[in-house]
Amino acid sequence: MTTQRTEPAQNADERTMLEGWLDYHRETLAWKCEGLTDAQLRTAAVPPSELSLMGLVRHMAEVERGWFRQVLVGDESGPIYYDEEDRDGEFHLTEDDTWQEAHATWRAEIETARRNAAGFGLDDLSRGKSRHSGDPFSLRWIYTHMIEEYARHNGHADLLRECVDGVTGD
């Protein structure tokens, strides 16, 4: 499967632009993982870090869930890969962890995020609150944060991919 990235519109309304940039960065992460084996995707290619491409995808599934389920709509669904004993569980991979499962879980969280966000305007406030201030977040803030989160991790994905097989690209 070839990942199709669509450049965000240059003259769209604000919501379309934010959603376009978020989708662009989601597809960039998928593209960085494309064509690799499970073993390559599990490879922590920049020691001593445990960060891997599959770990990043699992992390972003957790992030999608956290912001669009738990914070935005107040869903009390628990974490997918981590727990209180292993707060970084999404990055602690075993031979049993597969790309098929990680990718499907991440895509399912993205679809849930889209459905949940569709019920909110950009200025609407989340049902969940900040752990730090106790204040809710606007959907605009969540979109902006998610774009930042993906952009930062896509930088990590660039380095990981180059270490795994030498492939580079924007």
Indicate whether 1 pLDDT > 80.
Answer: no
> What is the rounded average pLDDT of the residues 25-30?
97
Indicate whether 31 pLDDT > 70.
Answer: yes
Measure Cα distances from 50 to 20, 29, 39, 153, 157 in Å: 31, 18, 14, 14, 13
Rg of the chain, C-alpha, whole Å: 16
Q: Specify the residue for token string 């769209």.
A: 12
Q: pLDDT averaged over the chain? A: 96
Quick: pLDDT tens for 36-76.
Answer: 999 999 999 888 999 999 999 999 999 999 999 999 999 99
DSSP string, 137-167: EEHHHHHHHHHHHHHHHHHHHHHHHHHHH--
pTM to 2 decimal places: 0.96
